[in-house]
Amino acid sequence: MNEENLNQDMSSEKKYWKSAEQLKENSPVVDALEQNEFVEHIPTDEFLGDKENLESSKTSRRDFLKYVGFSTAAASLAACEGPVIKSIPYVVQPERLVPGVADYYATTIADGFDFASVLVKTREGRPIKIESNKDATSMTAGKPRVHASVLSLYDIKRLQNPMVDGQSSSWTSFNKEVRAKLESTTKKIVLLTQTFASPSTEQLIQEFSDKYNNVEHVVYDSVSATAALDAFEKTYGLRALPNYDLTNAKSIVGIGADFLGDWLGGGFDAAYSKSRVPKEGKMSKHYQFEANMTLSGANSDERFATKPSDQKQVLVEIYNQIVGRVASTNLSEAHQEAVKKAVKSLKKGGKHAVLLCGIEDVDAQLMSLAINEALNSELTNIENPRMIRQGDANKVSQLVKDMNSGAVGALIMSGVNPVYTLPNSDEFVSGLEKVETVVDFALTMDETAKLSTYVGALPHYLESWGDVRLTYQDYSLVQPTIKPIFNTRHFQECLLDWTDNSLSYYDYIKAGFTKRHDGMPWNHTLHDGFYQVDSVFQPSIDASFNANAAAKNLTKSTSSGLELTLYTKSGLGDGQQANNPWLQEFPDPITRTSWDNYLTISRSDAEELGLENKNVANGALNGSYANVTVGNTALQNVPVYIQPGQAKGSVGLALGYGKTESIQEEMQVGVNAYPLYKDFNAVQEVKIEKASGMHEFACIQLHNTMMGRKDIIKETTLEIFNTKDKDYWNKTPQVSLDHIETPVDSPDVDLWNEFDRSIGHHFNLSIDLNACTGCGACVIACHSENNVPVVGKSEIRKSRDMHWLRIDRYYSSKETLIGDYEKKENIKGLGSALSEFGELEKPSEENVEVVFQPVMCQHCNHAPCETVCPVAASAHGRQGQNHMTYNRCVGTRYCANNCPYKVRRFNWFRYNKNDEFDYHMNNDLGRMVLNPDVTVRSRGVMEKCSMCIQMTQLSILEAKREGRPIKDGEFQTACSNACDNGAMVFGDINDKESLVAQKKEDERTYYLLEYLGTKPNVFYHTKIRNTNEA
Amino acid sequence: MKKVLFRPSKLKIFLLLFSLLFLTNVYAQDEPDLDDTEEIEEVSGADPQKGKELFNSLCAACHKPYKKAVGPALHGITERRDLDWIYAWTKNSKELIDSGDSEAIEIYEEYNRQAMPAFPQLSNEDIDDIIAYVEQPKPEPKTAKKDDSSEVAATGDGVSTEVILGILAFVFLMLLVILVLVNKTLRRFAEANNVEIYKKKEKSKPIWVAFAENQFLVLVSVVIVLLMVAYGGYGYLMQVGIDQGYEPIQPIHYSHKIHAGENEIECKYCHSSARKSKHSGIPSLNVCMNCHKQIAEVSEETATEEYSKEFYDNEIQKLYDATGWDPETQSYTGETKPVKWVRIHNLPDFAYFNHAQHVTVGQIECQTCHGPVEEMEILYQYSSLTMGWCINCHRETDVKMEDNPYYEKIHEELSKKYGVDKLTAAEMGGLECGKCHY
């Protein structure tokens, strides 16, 4: 502000100043500043005044103009010419590789957290998609993380060379130096690794131990399963995890176990879904006692919000009632009721019943094993336990102590990142300084690698050889699907080198395989990717645990404060793939929030603490910050998310966020919750206080309830489904025609003439709301198949997400949606409408019910979007697909406005090769994941689900080429292919024998917003909830 | 790189025609024929003609007369080995090696321990014939001679034309001078005789002024000009991005004319992925080497006026450089330099085209879209590759449904619906946007 003007213009004598200097009379500094536009003198004279220099310069003004003129002319000329495109064929083309035709390889992901048999689709030698290995006997893919792992292969932050002292090195010198160190050390050598579950690696580590004396192998799982492992070992004599097959389940009771999430490595959902679809009027009954709202709770028939300390009481009470009375419990009346119901159901289910307990406590795990033994549960598969977690938390704690005492000479790590994941990371770091030689094998220069002298660059699993023992009987092989992109080597290869073994790791695995499984064909097994051995686990049952003492231990722990349950999200998991933009943008199935972790809290607790969630004008969600303290560790500014269904007195926080090393700036989101994971116990007592400021969430669905709107979700109970007519619970909507109610599917009320679709293929997609667990595998599969761009947090916040397929999550406030519906129907008069609608809108505190509904383009036969497009960019095909022609689209967005399902997505920006969106599409490495058969869309065009027309067209072409009719099951979309649960079925309804044609005739079939008369080609199956007593 | 349009200058064509005209005669006169001219009879009584036949049927797979191939060059063999050794070796080389003959072992080692197959069926006379054939002196390269003679012919002809033209021009000039002189003389006569010379009449209105004053004409012509400009402009704009005739210079001068035309190699032998992939595929270099391991140089007949034998041989050498093939040792060095071909047919990203659909299922000839490839010395884009061009074909082409069980049901139903026996691609849904744009 100019001081002089102020003095003249203003009537008062008030003086404003920015600096004390201004108060002085005739200050030279102030004068100078006021007179000059720029604070410093611009050195024009130094440049132009130097005549000599100017004259000696070879560039005259004329030259300058010439250059400008020439470059302008050249640029405009160049613009007239089309670009010259080069094509470089192979010098020697690998046999059987045909450019343009995809090849599939069976392999296995085994990164220590996720284990699954997968099929990898490769094009021209580069993997572009992960699919489920449906033939595999155990752990077929399924999780979003597994599907997204292909993008982590093309992570630009990956280590490209082995590093010695922070400098790129060669493997020869790396191995030579490490070897010298190993041979010279007199102290013990410790191998700290992830769970490999690999027979050949075990053998190799044994050989390594034989060569170097005093070797210790410590297995470390970042998210520990120590309690379950210990309990199983104690009871059955093998360090493994119990395995459950829920296919024939009649009664499932879960206590704090998110078995549809990551509990015991996950992967129970496909079998679970089979038991949830009513067959002959029967389906499984699922009770869930849990604190955080999880996928398992969301899918249960009855969910009881139970804070962790109460979960222990519930377990003991169930033990009391099923096995025998051991201790008295202290439960609320509601919980006692619930336990009674659960016990009744378990008893009725008998050998088809199972109790799944996720309480991280050996006593609790022992009790749950005993309960299942008492039930004589056939669903617990003791003969074929899971081998995918081997970590021992106690050994890890001991190691940290040993390191600090200076007892460790060399520490060799592989596949772990303890500096980030250990709760006592500080101690580990100080211990590292006392270790003579630190070697770390890692994919990226992560927190631990940064502090290591020797860093071995690991290959991604898609570039690796390996073998994995998933369960006692089921093995799976890992084979490379691409030549290593960088100068990387396995930890195992280095072990071979250090033990003077001249075999390559591949030969080593093959030799071990041939030795262990005599007569099994290697090539054939490699092709299949998995094999099963006949010998089952023979448990030596030791039932001698002291139930009384265990129960006493469990019941005595009552807490007064808030209890925190740490969990892993189905998106990011333990945080290994934090630099994966697909996973970051993947909305959490429950909270529908991406790019964040947050403290979930119940509404009543939030109100007590003054924490709030608010939706701002454009619909985006804001939440308060809180400081979270566990013992003497505090996390500052954790965003708070008020979660319907969160047990009162409990809070939740996801692990795996807040990573900063070797993570692109955009992906450095959330807070690191590992420091709160004290003693590897997911349940902690916390103190929470409000902090200032509001956090901006990227939440894509307001968490209000359905308010009884039955036309979107149709839901009923098993009882009504079994006893009442279809018209009662799944009535075709009626519209008024000349004041006569007419069913909406009648031709009389149709605006359009029906087009004959009986010839050729007519594609339909069936979605069963009973089988859908909301896991989100389809969302990532769709992302990867269709080159869907990642838009980033701030764009998501503006509701500009590009997901072609979203999984809507709906809460209902009453016992069932029907209850809400009846309440809505009974509203009489304005007064009651106001109050009761308000009541419906507010999710009830604890007992909400959840429904997941995948929604993509419904491919309406009478599509509202097609009629409003001024350039006919959206048109209908005879096969039922609604075609979107990008090159025709001019971006008016009328179609999106007119779409009742809101499934059309607009490219507000160019999301590829754009520094503003610095995700995988902005670098050459990341773009290798793009599907060459699908156009990468540009700015200003509309896009949406195409029903994977590139896949159906390919199936048709293959059949034509081979001259055969198409079999049912050949037609797939990315989402239906990724759905292991059988919730999505795709096919040709003109083939009357096809599964989808049969599903369309099912009584449960309904269409989304059917009363609009859009005649969609996607249909849903009414959700049936098992509310029957037991 | 800029695109080079196929526009041979008129001058070139003219010269080409001229030289061709004279060349044909030259061939007839000077062409030295290996078979007929001065046969050196190394072995008395041997018939090199018969030897040639034997050589081509039995030996040519591995041997060349003047160049090393799988086996050594055979020319000069009589100087290196005595006849008895040759007889023994040819009839059964293995036996000779096993007998410990040092020469035999040496050559066996030199050629990667690959024994020559035994030819017990050959008599000594037959072998003599073959020797007679291979011992003929290497003929002088034809092309050099050819070039010389054509040059001579061309220059000789050039001189005479110039002379004739010069004379003609001189005659015309003389005539002109005579005419002017006559005119002058006549005028002088007229003046002398007072005959009135006809004078120009008064200047009338120039025609363009008259035109400018006629408003109707102006209007009509303006309209016509505008229409023409619009037509031309539209035509120009519509061809932007259409590269019909695009004929870029390729890193290796590969002649489809020689391969697909003269040698009648099937298109899909090299472009094999067209059968089952969306891409026709640029053949990988190992496909080239299937033949070019043996063919290190082109035959004399292949060379044309425009491209000499040296030129073609040099192009084959480029292939060897790229694959790392050493013709001397007949082995790969392992050093490869992938060839960066310039892509000619470029569809935009948003259009999906599948070769297998058209080539295998539709059984459409490659030439339908790619033109007379077998006549193209340098490949160019024959079709416009516009959407209109695609659609036209889809409207007109009948789908090949016979004997394809996939089509059985749909053919029956659709032909009943449309009342036709044959169905076009369009009737099958081949005009739907989403079939090509996704």
pLDDT in tens, B208-264: 888 888 889 999 999 999 999 999 999 888 877 788 889 999 999 999 999 999 889
Which pLDDT score is estimated for B102?
A: 82
Yes or no: say if A416 and A220 are a contact pair by the CB < 8 Å rule. Answer: yes
Do A882 and A857 contact (CB within 8 A), yes or no? Answer: yes
Q: Say yes or no: B181 and B213 in one domain.
A: no
A881 reaches B (C-beta below 8 A): yes
Q: What is the mean pLDDT of residues A580-608?
A: 92
pLDDT of A830 reads 64
pLDDT at A56 over 80: no
- Residue with token string 């006021």: A34
* C-alpha–C-alpha distance, residues A158 and A457, integer Å: 8
Q: Any chain B CB within 8 A of the CB of A519?
A: no
Give B26's pLDDT tier (boundaries 50, 70, 90): very low
**Which residues is A883 bridged to in the sheet?**
A875
**B31 interface with A at CB cutoff 8 Å:** no
| Mean pLDDT, residues B21-32 | 42
**Among B123, B100, B138, B142, which Cα is nearest to B51's?**
B123
Phi, psi of B132 (to 5 degrees): -60, -40
Q: Rounded to an integer, what distance in angstroms lies between the CA atom of residue A450 and that of residue A444?
A: 10
Within a domain: B6? no
Fold classified for A715-786+803-881+945-1025: Alpha-Beta Plaits (3.30.70)
Mean pLDDT of A204-220: 92
pLDDT of B106 over the 60 cut? yes
- Confidence band of A9 (pLDDT split at 50, 70, 90): very low
Token digits for A336? 């006692």
Of A665-679, A706-720, B344-358, minimum mean pLDDT range: A706-720
Predicted pLDDT of residue B5:
43
Yes or no: say if A120 and A153 are a contact pair by the CB < 8 Å rule. Answer: no
Mean pLDDT confidence for B377-393: 92
Above 60 in pLDDT, residue A39? no
Q: Could you tell me which residue, A44 or B261, shows the higher pLDDT?
A: B261
B188 in a structural domain: yes
A965: contact with B, CB 8 A cutoff: yes
Q: Of the segments A465-469, A616-620, A828-832, which one has the largest average pLDDT value? A: A465-469
Per-residue confidence band for A1018, with pLDDT thresholds at 50, 70 and 90:
very high
* Cβ-Cβ contacts under 8 Å, B281 against chain A: 89, 98-100
Q: Please give the helix or strand (H or E) that residue A357 lies within, else none.
A: strand A353-357
CATH number for the domain whose boundaries are A230-386: 3.40.228.10
Same domain, B122 and B180: no
Q: What pLDDT sits at residue B320? A: 92
CB A938 within 8 A of CB A879: no
* B147-to-A92, A222, B9, B14, B33 alpha-carbon distances in Å: 38, 80, 21, 17, 17
So what's the pLDDT on residue B146?
40
Q: What is the DSSP string of B186-212?
A: HHHHHHHTTPPPP--------HHHHHH
Q: How far apart are CA A700 and CA A590, in angstroms?
A: 11
Q: Which domain holds residue B233?
A: 207-238
Of B83, B109, B134, at which residue does a domain stop? B134
What is the reported pLDDT for B159? 63
Best of A88, A879, A961, A1017 to substitute, by most chain B Cβ atoms within 10 angstroms, is: A961
**A414 three-class SS:** strand
Number of domains in chain B: 4
Residue B306 DSSP label: S
Average pLDDT estimate for A711-738: 87
Residues 6+ apart with CB under 8 A from B180: none
pLDDT, greater one: A249 or A820: A249
Average pLDDT score over residue span A776-792: 94
Distance of CA A363 to the CA centre of its chain: 31
Taking the C-alpha atoms of residue A447 and residue A662, their distance in angstroms, rounded to an integer, is 8
Query: Which pLDDT value is given to residue B141?
Result: 53
* B87 shares a domain with B55: yes
pLDDT given for residue B112 in this prediction: 73
Tokens 């519906």, residue located:
A821
When the pLDDT of each residue in chain B is averaged and rounded to a whole number, the result is 81
In chain B, residues with a C-beta closer than 8 Å to the C-beta of A99 are: 273, 277, 279, 281
Residue B156 lies in a domain: yes
C-beta atoms of B273 and A883 within 8 A: no
**What is the pairing mode between strands A86-87 and B341-342?**
antiparallel
Q: Are residues B145 and B120 in the same domain?
A: no
Whether B180 maps to a domain, the answer reads: yes
Least Cα separation, residue B169 to chain A (angstroms): 45
Residue A714 confidence (pLDDT) above 80: yes
Whether residue A988 is predicted with pLDDT greater than 50 in this model: the reply is yes
| Percent of chain B clearing pLDDT 90 (strictly above) | 33
Predicted confidence (pLDDT) per residue in A77-116, tens digit? 665 567 888 988 888 888 888 889 999 999 999 999 999 9
pLDDT: which is higher, B97 or A493: A493
Over residues A190-199, the pLDDT tens digits come to 999 999 999 9
Q: Cβ contact (<8 Å) for A883 and B438? A: yes
Comparison of pLDDT for B412 and A356, the residue scoring more: A356
CA dist A929 and A784 (Å) reads 8
Q: DSSP readout, A649-679?
A: TEEEEESS----TT--GGG--S---GGG-GG
How far apart, in whole angstroms, are the C-alpha atoms of residue A986 and residue A805? Answer: 15
Provide the β-strand partners of residue A219: A193
Decide if B304 is inside a domain. no
Give the number of C-alpha atoms closer than 13 A to the C-alpha of residue A273, restricted to the C-beta side.
22
pTM of the model: 0.81
Q: Do B174 and B113 reside in the same domain of the chain?
A: no
pLDDT score recorded for residue A35:
60
* From A23-27, A227-231, A823-827, B257-261, the region with the lowest mean pLDDT: A23-27
Instruction: Burial-class residue A167 by CB neighbours within 10 Å (0-12, 13-18, 19+).
Output: exposed
Interface test with B, best of A77, A80, A81, A92 (most B CBs within 10 A): A92
Tens digit of each residue's pLDDT (9 = 90 or more) over B251-297: 999 999 999 998 899 999 999 999 989 999 899 999 999 889 888 88
Contact in structure between B429 and A756 (CB atoms under 8 Å): no
Q: What is the ipTM of this complex?
A: 0.81
Residue B410 placed within a domain: yes
Q: What is the pLDDT of residue A11?
A: 38
Is a pLDDT exceeding 70 seen at residue A856? yes
- Write down the pLDDT at residue A366: 92
pLDDT reported for residue A151: 95
pLDDT of residue A275: 93
The residues, any chain, with a CB within 8 Å of residue A263's CB and separated by 6 or more, are A257, A296, A356, A358
pLDDT tops 60 at residue B39: no
Taking the C-alpha atoms of residue A610 and residue A601, their distance in angstroms, rounded to an integer, is 12
CA distance B160 to B158: 6
B163 and B213 belong to one structural domain = no
- Sort A606 into a burial class: Cβ within 10 Å, 0-12 / 13-18 / 19+: buried
- Distance separating alpha carbons of residues A113 and A265, to the nearest angstrom: 7
What's the pLDDT at A828?
66
C-alpha separations of B349 from A803, A867, A934 in Å:
22, 27, 9
What number is the average pLDDT over the span A745-749?
84
Q: Which of A337-341, A637-641, B111-115, B400-404 has the lowest mean pLDDT?
A: B111-115
In a domain, B130, yes or no: yes
In words, the CATH class of domain A164-224+391-459+486-516 is: alpha beta
Last residue of a domain, one of B84, B99, B134: B134
* 3-state secondary structure at position A830: helix
Structural domain spans, chain A: 19-85, 164-224+391-459+486-516, 230-386, 559-699, 715-786+803-881+945-1025
* Interchain pair B276, A961: CB under 8 A: yes
Chain B residues 224-263 with CB within 8 Å of chain A: 241, 243, 248
Range in A826-830, B121-125, B419-423 the model is least confident about: A826-830
C-alpha–C-alpha distance, residues A445 and A422, integer Å: 17
Q: What share of chain A is helix, strand, coil (3-state, %, to 5)?
A: 35, 20, 45
Mean of pLDDT over chain A = 87
Closest CA to A656 of A674, A638, A639: A674
Q: Kind of pairing, strands A734-737 and A740-743?
A: antiparallel
Residues pairing with A625 in the sheet: A639, A691
- With 80 as the cut, is the pLDDT of residue B69 above it? no
CB atoms under 10 Å from CB of A920, counted, come to 25
Residue B85 in any domain: the answer is yes
Domain end call among B134, B161, B189: B134
pLDDT at A831: 64
pLDDT of residue A542: 77
Query: Taking a contact as any Cβ pair under 8 Å apart, which residues of chain B between 296 and 355 contact chain A?
Result: 322-324, 336, 338-343, 346, 348-352, 354
Sheet of A466-469: strand order equals: A466-469, A474-478, A530-532
pLDDT band (50, 70, 90) for residue A513: very high
Cα–Cα distance measured from residue A853 to residue A807, given in angstroms and rounded to the nearest whole number: 5
Residue percentage of chain A with pLDDT more than 90: 62
Does residue A483 register a pLDDT over 50?
yes
* Beta carbons within 8 Å of B329's beta carbon, 6+ residues apart: none
Q: Which residues contact B195 (CB under 8 A, 6 or more apart)?
A: none
Residue in A553, A568, A576, A587 with CA at minimum distance from that of residue A808 = A587
Chain A residue with Cα closest to B426: A878
Contact between A337 and A660 (Cβ < 8 Å): no
Mean pLDDT of A443-450: 93
At residue B2, the pLDDT reads: 44
Query: In chain A, which residues have their Cβ closer than 8 Å to the Cβ of B340?
Result: 86-88
Q: Which two tokens stand for residue A77?
A: 């000329």
pLDDT at A291 exceeding the cut of 90: yes
Cα A35 to Cα A38: distance, rounded to the nearest angstrom: 9
If we measure between CA atoms, which residue out of A810, A816, A847 comes closest to residue A306?
A847
> Strand (E) positions, A591-749?
593-594, 599-601, 613-615, 621-630, 633-642, 650-654, 683-696, 698-699, 715-717, 734-737, 740-743
Looking up tokens 């036309």 gives A711
The beta-carbon neighbor of A877 closest among B356, B410, B429 is B429
Q: Tokens representing A714?
A: 């149709």
Residue B147, pLDDT > 50, answer no
Q: How far apart are CA A785 and CA A277, in angstroms?
A: 28
Number of H helices, E strands in chain B: 18, 3
A393 Cβ contact list (under 8 Å, min separation 6): A224, A226, A679, A680
User: How sure is the predictor about A3, in pLDDT bands with cuts at 50, 70 and 90?
Assistant: very low
Kindly state the average pLDDT of the residues A541-547.
78
Residue A205, pLDDT score: 94
| Per-residue pLDDT at B144 | 42
Nearest to B405 among A91, A98, A964 (CB): A964
Read off the pLDDT of each residue in A41-50 and give the average, rounded to a whole number.
Answer: 62
Q: Spell out the residues 6+ positions from residue A888 whose beta carbon is closer than 8 angstroms to its own.
A: A871, A872, A873, B433, B437
* Percentage of residues of chain A with pLDDT beyond 70: 89
Q: Kindly state the average pLDDT of the residues A899-922.
A: 92
Q: Of A1008, A962, A969, whose CA–CA distance to A859 is shortest? A: A1008
Higher per-residue pLDDT: A51 or A975: A975
Domain range A559-699, CATH architecture: Beta Barrel (2.40)
Asked if the C-beta of A758 comes within 8 angstroms of chain B's C-beta atoms, the answer is yes
The residues with which A305 forms a beta bridge, in sequence order, are A290
User: Can you list the positions of beta strands (E) in A249-305?
Assistant: 251-255, 285-290, 302-305
Q: Tell me which range, A41-45, A55-59, A584-588, B118-122, is most confidently predicted by mean pLDDT.
A: A584-588
Give the residue among A474, A533, A535, A522 at the shortest CA–CA distance from A137. A474
A839-A842-A844-A848 Cα dihedral, nearest 10 degrees: 120
* Residues A329-364: tens digit of each pLDDT: 888 888 999 999 999 999 999 899 999 999 988 999
